[in-house]
Amino acid sequence: MQAEETIAIDLAGKTSLADTMIIASGRSQRHVGAIADKILQDLKAKGYGTARVEGMPACDWVLIDAGDLLVHIFRPEVRGFYNLEKIWGEDRPSAHLGG
């Protein structure tokens, strides 16, 4: 779905919430929702069950909790405001996965 500025953050040893956090941006609310829908479909198709989802009605920030994997999809303005990369210490360029 062409998510932008996607990064993965290794949470092992930092929290018991999950092992990995993925953070990505969508260009608009519609794009954020489409990315989230695609991720949910892929998780289900690959046998990961039903993930918990927050934020789908507004689609400014969607959180997908798939157990050991957390996925945050933001509109760019919202991502900049919350700045999860800095909170989790992963704002280094080496953390980027590509586009």
How confident is the model over 40-68, as pLDDT tens digits?
999 999 988 889 999 999 999 999 999 88
Alpha-carbon gap, residue 8 to 25, rounded angstroms:
13
Q: Predicted confidence band at 94 (pLDDT cuts at 50, 70, 90)? A: very low
Would you tell me how many other CB atoms lie within 10 Å of the CB of residue 68? Answer: 12
Give pTM, 2 decimals. Answer: 0.85
Q: How far apart are CA 20 and CA 71, in angstroms?
A: 9
**Of 16, 18, 36, whose CA–CA distance to 26 is shortest?**
36
Half-sphere exposure of 17 (CA within 13 A, CB side): 12
What domains does the chain contain, in order, with CATH numbers? 4-86 (3.30.460.10)
Backbone phi, then psi, for 30, in 5-degree steps? Answer: -65, -40
